[in-house]
Amino acid sequence: MKKWMCLLLALVTVFSLTACGDQDEKREEETQNTTQTTGDTQPAETLTREEQDALDHALELLETIPYSREGLISQMVHDGYAEAAAAAAVDRTGLDWKEQAVKSAEEYVKYLPMSRTGVAQMLEYDRFTPDEVAYAMEQLNDVDWDMEADEAVEKYLQQGVSKRSLEENLEFQGFTPEQIRKAVTKTADVDWDKQAVLCAKGYLEAMEFTRDSLIGQLKYEGFTTAQAEYAADQCGF
């Protein structure tokens, strides 16, 4: 499980950075359309300097990644704005938060191999409301969740994983038993000895181990004693 969490955090970071570059132009156009077409947005000339600054900052944040209303307010408070000013600015954007949830869900699927349950959980973590989450998930009918499971397997195999740990991680991500079965069946040709070596090298890059402690860690990860000992041998122990 801990390897999945590390992978998720790393991939979310990549997603955020990549999204910033790929979505800038699109966000700018959407923001302009929003401010031009929203009937209940207060005219710019009636805003105080502080309110305009808060609104400008909110729009800048929305140019990077999709936000929920509460998530955007929280980010603005973190950036130093008073909660009342942040809330007022966010409401002036006039955005459809259900559509923001859809965009967020689509980008998670685009940049991360995730299960349907995993996407919903991420939207909840991003503080979208239950109705917004439900609406967003209804829009993902074209996603091939079996393929998402296959892609998750490939990510795990790139860093080194045992078959047991692979199954556990897929379950933790929220894939269904049938999706897990199909994905793991496709690993029939995987060399688990090499996976143990890859996993061992990853651990050795992060901290020091004795031979026995390395073997113990690999066995904890689900590798057999023979696989763990082979990996230790290949790593010079």
Tell me: do 133 and 175 sit in the same domain. Answer: no
pLDDT digit string (tens) for 90-121?
Answer: 999 999 999 999 999 999 999 999 999 999 99
The answer to the question of residue 42 being in a domain is: no
**pLDDT (0 to 100) of residue 47:** 74
What region does 41 belong to: left with phi over 0, alpha with psi -120 to 50, or beta? beta
**pLDDT (0 to 100) of residue 49:** 84
| Residue from 103, 99, 91 nearest 47 by CA | 91
Tell me: do 14 and 108 sit in the same domain. Answer: yes
Tell me: do 100 and 22 sit in the same domain. Answer: yes
**What is the CA 183 to chain-centroid distance, rounded?**
20
**Measured between alpha carbons, how far is 99 from 74 in angstroms, rounded to an integer?**
19
Tell me: do 100 and 172 sit in the same domain. Answer: no
DSSP state of 42: P
Tell me: do 21 and 115 sit in the same domain. Answer: yes
Domain count, the chain: 3
**Per-residue pLDDT band at 66 (split at 50, 70, 90):** very high
State the burial class of residue 153 (Cβ atoms within 10 Å of its Cβ: 0-12, 13-18, 19+). buried
AA letter at 122: M
Q: Is the pLDDT of residue 20 over 60?
A: no
pLDDT digit string (tens) for 205-214?
Answer: 999 999 999 9
Q: Is the pLDDT of residue 16 over 90?
A: no
User: Whole domain around residue 168: which residue ranges?
Assistant: 145-185
Tell me: do 206 and 168 sit in the same domain. Answer: no
Average pLDDT, the chain: 86
Tell me: do 211 and 120 sit in the same domain. Answer: no
3-state secondary structure of 72: helix
| Residue from 92, 88, 112 nearest 173 by CA | 112
Whether residue 65 contacts residue 27, with contact meaning beta carbons closer than 8 Å, is answered with no
**pLDDT (0 to 100) of residue 2:** 40
Across the range 33-59, mean pLDDT stands at: 66
**Measured between alpha carbons, how far is 216 from 230 in angstroms, rounded to an integer?**
13
Across the range 16-43, mean pLDDT stands at: 43
Q: pLDDT exceeding 90 applies to what percent of the chain? A: 78
Tell me: do 128 and 12 sit in the same domain. Answer: yes
How is residue 86 written in tokens?
């942040």
Q: Is the pLDDT of residue 148 over 80?
A: yes
**Per-residue pLDDT band at 74 (split at 50, 70, 90):** very high
